[in-house]
Amino acid sequence: MAENKGNYSANNIQALEGLEAVRKRPGMYIGSTDSKGLHHLVWEVIDNSIDEHLAGHASHIDMIIHEDNSITVKDNGRGIPTGMHEKLQKSALEVVMTVLHAGGKFDKDTYKVSGGLHGVGVSCVNALSSYLRAEVHRGGEVFEQEYGQGKPKADVKVIGKTDRTGTTVTFKPDGEIFETLVYSFDTLANRMREMSFLNKGLHLSMTDEREKDENGDFRRVEFYSEGGLREFVTFVDESRTPLISEPIYVVGKEEGVEVEVAMQYNTSFSENIYSFVNNINTREGGSHVNGFRRAVNRVFSKYAEDNGMFSKLKFKVSGEDFREGLTSIVSVKVPEPQFKGQTKGELGNAEVTGIVSRAVGEVLGHYLEEHPKDSKKIIEKVILAATARHAARKARDLVQRKNILTGSGLPGKLSDCSSKDPVESEIFLVEGDSAGGTAKQGRDRGFQAILPLRGKILNVEKALEYKIYENEEIKNLFTALGVTIEDKDGERILNTEKLRYHKIVIMCDADVDGSHIVTLILTFLFRYMKPLIEQGFIYIAAPPLYLVKKGNTKVYAWNDEERAEITKNLGGDDGQGVKIQRYKGLGEMNADQLWETTMDPETRILRQVTIEDVNESDRIFSVLMGDEVPPRRRFIENNAKYANIDV
């Protein structure tokens, strides 16, 4: 029979059995097959254990990263039922592990609220794992079933007796599916810490069997919170100076929706809001965040107006003024949440807006009456924010209008590329005029632009917004990139329609000063041009640290391990006759060396800057660039082994 590729008939319709659909289109179920998707597998398993805690049955959750990057999650909940499922005529454990949309989450008598909403969680993990083992302690017996790529290797069997209850799941992500199989300790630990704050009274632990300390013990962290969100907001704000004596705490319940909010005013200039629904981080916000903001605007505005505190202002106070320097955690438990989009990033339940607004409004009203000193500080901060925003808009308009009136408005220091296509164009932000000169000589003028930055740019973490428009280097960045900041619906947004380069490369010396300048630039980009990071336009160049030479042979090394290996290969164990040059700065390189090691697309190493966790990134920037020294010292000590430090 001749093959007819143009035909579309009944024979072309595929009915995927069981978990085949998940393996065929993993992105539909876990978002992606990169590092984010890999970590998502862990969240799905942990969410099941968290749901047991929310139902009042689990007090401990332990996670282990094994040496081969397989994961074990163990809880002391009720244990997944193992009895025969009437309809499917197989063990309920096998049903949960192998059938999509199967689980106790759909029965409101079993789980009042739940994070695993679609009933696809653990079965997806099973489908995307080369191996998974489920062990259930229930009814005095230990049950076990093993799977390969989602398929049972044998029936559920009893392997022993027990005097406890709970579920243990061990899984190894499938190398056929995922681009990377290596788990990040920090990513997992940050989420576990978050979970401990959101679920006060829950013991969480994490052990990493890939790493041992000097005593030969595995790396281990434990998380437990009694104060919940109050401790959470204090932790997030550890590097900021509080404006009020203690966090404002809200708890309420209406129509089955539980509301918990902690908020803390500080002396910084940015709003930081962390929002959750049934422990799921809603990064895009939603109706619960709208309700919170509505209450803050309404209650503070009424208090200030009633007390004549805005009488001298000649311009209107906007919603964002009430939230400048406000860190808040908004957590709601909703019996039947509706999310916008597959990733559960935004809550859609309209009724939640009013419920949160009423709960927060009532507590804030009492707070303002009972704490007149703190209330006065907050309103003074709001007035300062409004005044600064007004000044910032004037300064911003002046800079942006000047660019329009003077033609191209491009800074004189910019050596632009000839290409006008942003997709193929790239700009290097280079530390200092000396390195800038070398980069200009070594670049490909067709698509590479160079903007030298003189000295260290302004630390925007400590500066009012209008001050940044007075800084020459920051003004040059705005004009060179072609982006503008605009006010829309009371919010500040970045307009990227006229962005001139789709690769923005920070290129600094590989020393302490260079690292500091990189951090200053990243802080500015994170605070004022975050969409450029989110859209993948920001990169950090990786110039080599060493040039290893013997005779006419030259080899570059990017770290100490490479240098040692190259030295050994060229000169034997003692390295006689090998010369090593340590590059302290980009200016020490010849133009052709800078091109071949750091700028040539064929050979260079570029590190793309991504944001895996906006809230954690916010906290780290405030730790590194804020006023408080102890948190910064702790961070550097904990991460020193990952850094290149010249003494």
* Catalytic status, residue 431: yes
Euclidean distance between CA atoms 131 and 140, whole angstroms: 26
Q: What is the DSSP string of 273-289?
A: EEEEETTEE-TTEEHHH
Condensed to tens digits (0 to 9), the pLDDT of residues 219-232 reads: 999 999 999 999 99
Residue 112 is predicted with a pLDDT of 59
495-530, pLDDT tens digit by residue?
999 999 999 999 988 777 888 888 889 989 998 999
Give the C-alpha separation, 445 to 416, whole Å. Answer: 8
What pLDDT is recorded for position 341? 64
d(CA 218, CA 207): 7
CATH code 3.40.50.670 region(s) in the chain: 408-542
Catalytic residue among 324, 509, 616, 618: 509
509 is catalytic: yes
Return the half-sphere exposure (C-beta side, CA atoms, 13 A cut-off) of residue 219. 13
Q: Which of 148-152, 576-580, 634-638 has the highest mean pLDDT?
A: 148-152
Query: CATH 3.30.565.10 occupies which residues in the chain?
Result: 20-223
Average pLDDT over the chain reads: 86
Looking at residue 368, its amino acid is: L
Domain range 408-542, its CATH number among 3.30.565.10, 3.30.1950.10, 3.40.50.670, 3.40.50.300:
3.40.50.670
Task: State yes or no: is 511 an active-site residue.
Answer: yes
Tell me the pLDDT tens digit for each residue of 460-502.
888 888 888 888 888 889 999 999 888 777 677 899 999 999 9
- What is the residue type of 623? V
pLDDT at 12 over 50: no
**Residue length of the chain:** 647
Give mean pLDDT, residues 363-370: 95
Token pair for 510: 């590989």
Given the residues 135, 194, 260, 431, the one annotated as active site: 431
Q: Which of 511, 562, 613, 628 is catalytic?
A: 511
From the list 144, 487, 513, 627, the catalytic residue is 513
Indicate the fold that domain 229-387 takes in CATH: Ribosomal Protein S5; domain 2 (3.30.230)
**Lowest pLDDT segment from 105-109, 181-185, 269-273, 467-471:** 105-109
Domain with CATH 3.30.230.10 in the chain: 229-387
Catalytic-residue membership of 600: no
Q: Can you give the C-alpha Rg of the chain in angstroms?
A: 28
Which CATH superfamily, name and number, covers 20-223?
Answer: Histidine kinase-like ATPase, C-terminal domain (3.30.565.10)
